């Protein structure tokens, strides 16, 4: 909105509105999108927390679960709606509507709605959507994104997947890019969802991943940089930077209230929408394989669950004391804060490692 109002309609060389030139710069709008979503999150989140408490949309801890989590009973959940609302508002104000941005915004919103339905059902029935129903919704959204990216390509190499660590290693998936897109988005959303088990763990990790994606998206949306670093140029991809900056700001503001001891939880509204956003951004800016590295912590968390299930079904033994992995360390006696901070460090290492792939192409 601000780009349209201040730059396209008010800006004119030599006029009193010549200062509006700054709205053409993505870095300027991205910075203020982050600041705006951060400040509004700081100010309004306490009101949302009170509203959720009045509506009794709160966490219910099962008795057989970790004893150390019993104190979390009654903490408001569905906090992801805060991030989603502030994110969309900030994007509406500071971003310019381009095809890449619209795809990401719609996908993030769709995953947020799916999570919202799940969070709304939980307090009433004691459990959320059945796994098959939730998975069906995720696959449906992922299929829509995959079809769009296939039928309305954002780049000439839209079906080609590149492996950055291997020279000239790329594969044209053709029509199979659609199920591949479904896999990326579904895996990302569920991986973040599984990581959301300790105060601040998922949202903090998402902030680091988002910062890494900001740099990758900036390169993809910059013609000269993308050409120099051999990254697919995405026309209008620069606006993805504004989206990610707004997401980082809203997430940072939410972390203020989600840090240990949490005053509010993300809920599926937050974890699914965050994961869906991360997966879709990776597809849009053609960083599907680097996503495995940049989101390495999420891969480890989800992988621990897969290993645990397969090991128990095949051999009748559990590899971990409890899955996902963060609960394993809780069982081993690590404090919640220590686990979260150490996992954040791991997330940062993966982000830095992924950024190094820009020069390994």
Q: What is the pLDDT of residues 186-201, one digit of tens each?
A: 999 999 999 999 999 9
Average pLDDT for residues 319-341, to the nearest whole number? 93
**What is the spatial distance between Cα 270 and Cα 37, in angstroms, rounded to a whole number?**
15
Map out the domains of the chain as residue ranges. Answer: 2-289
Binned at pLDDT 50, 70 and 90, residue 361 comes out as low
Q: Does 277 have pLDDT greater than 50?
A: yes
Residue 318 pLDDT: 92
Percentage of the chain exceeding pLDDT 70: 89
**Beta carbons within 8 Å of 165's beta carbon, 6+ residues apart:** 357, 360
Taking 50 as the threshold, does the pLDDT of residue 182 lie above it? Answer: yes
Those residues whose C-beta lies under 8 Å from the C-beta of residue 345, and which sit 6 or more positions away, are none
8 or 302: whose pLDDT is higher? 302
**CB-neighbour burial class of residue 174 (10 A; exposed 0-12, middle 13-18, buried 19+):** exposed
At a CB cut-off of 8 Å and minimum separation 6, what does 57 contact?
A: 76, 77, 78, 119, 120, 123
Range of weakest confidence among 58-72, 149-163, 295-309: 58-72
Whether the per-residue pLDDT at 300 is higher than 70: the answer is yes
Distance CA 58, CA 53 (A): 7
The mean pLDDT value for 353-360 works out to: 83
Which structure tokens are listed for 13?
């060389």
What pLDDT is stored for residue 129 in this prediction? 85
pLDDT reported for residue 62 = 63
User: CA–CA distance from 307 to each of 195, 295, 300, 314, 324 (Å)?
Assistant: 15, 18, 10, 10, 10
* Secondary structure letter of residue 318 according to DSSP: -
Q: Is the pLDDT of residue 354 over 60?
A: yes
Read off the pTM. Answer: 0.92
- Rounded mean pLDDT, 308-327: 92
> Does 85 score more than 90 pLDDT?
yes
- Residues of the chain with pLDDT > 90: what percent? 66
Does the pLDDT of residue 64 top 70, yes or no? no
pLDDT band at residue 60 using 50, 70 and 90 as cut-offs = confident
Which pLDDT belongs to residue 126?
66
Q: How far is CA 318 from CA 134, 286, 313, 328, in A?
A: 26, 37, 9, 11
- Reading the block at residue 308, the tokens are 């645990």
Mean pLDDT, residues 265-289 taken together: 96
Mean pLDDT of 136-152: 96
Q: For 75-96, what is the mean pLDDT?
A: 92
Is pLDDT of 20 > 90? no
Predicted local confidence at residue 4, as pLDDT: 46
Q: Which residue has the higher pLDDT, 292 or 226?
A: 292
- Note the pLDDT of residue 5: 47
Average pLDDT, the chain: 89
How much is the pLDDT for 96?
87
């Amino acid at each position: 909105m601000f780009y349209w109002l201040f730059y396209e309609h008010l800006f004119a060389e030599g006029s009193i509105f010549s200062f509006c030139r700054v709205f053409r710069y993505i870095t300027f709008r991205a910075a203020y999108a982050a600041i705006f979503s951060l400040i509004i999150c700081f100010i309004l989140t306490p009101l949302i927390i009170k509203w959720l408490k009045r509506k009794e949309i709160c966490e219910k801890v099962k008795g057989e679960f970790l004893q150390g989590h019993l104190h979390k009973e009654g903490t408001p959940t569905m906090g992801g709606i805060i991030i989603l609302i502030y994110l969309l508002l900030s994007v509406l104000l500071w971003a310019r509507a381009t095809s890449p941005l619209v795809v990401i915004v719609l996908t993030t919103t769709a995953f947020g709605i799916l999570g919202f339905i799940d969070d709304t059902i939980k307090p009433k029935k004691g459990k959320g959507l059945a796994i098959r129903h939730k998975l069906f919704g995720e696959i449906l959204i992922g299929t829509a994104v995959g079809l769009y990216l296939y039928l309305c390509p954002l780049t000439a190499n839209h079906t080609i997947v590149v492996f950055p660590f291997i020279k000239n290693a790329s594969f044209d998936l053709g029509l199979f890019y659609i199920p591949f897109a479904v896999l990326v988005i579904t895996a990302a959303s569920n991986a973040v969802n599984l990581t959301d088990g300790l105060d601040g763990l998922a949202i903090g990790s998402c902030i680091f991943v988002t910062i890494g994606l900001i740099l990758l998206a900036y390169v993809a949306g910059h013609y000269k940089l993308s050409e120099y670093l051999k990254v697919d140029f995405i026309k209008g991809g620069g606006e993805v930077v504004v989206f990610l900056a707004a997401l980082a700001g809203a997430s940072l503001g939410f972390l203020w209230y989600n840090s240990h001891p949490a005053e509010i939880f993300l809920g599926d509204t937050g974890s699914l929408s965050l994961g869906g956003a991360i997966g879709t951004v990776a597809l849009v800016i053609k960083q599907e394989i680097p996503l495995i590295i940049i989101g390495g912590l999420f891969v480890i968390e989800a992988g621990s669950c897969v290993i645990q299930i397969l090991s128990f079904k095949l051999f009748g033994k559990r590899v971990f004391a409890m899955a996902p992995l963060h609960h394993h360390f809780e069982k081993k006696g690590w404090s919640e804060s220590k686990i979260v901070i150490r996992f954040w460090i791991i997330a940062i290492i993966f982000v830095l490692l992924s950024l190094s792939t820009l020069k390994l192409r």
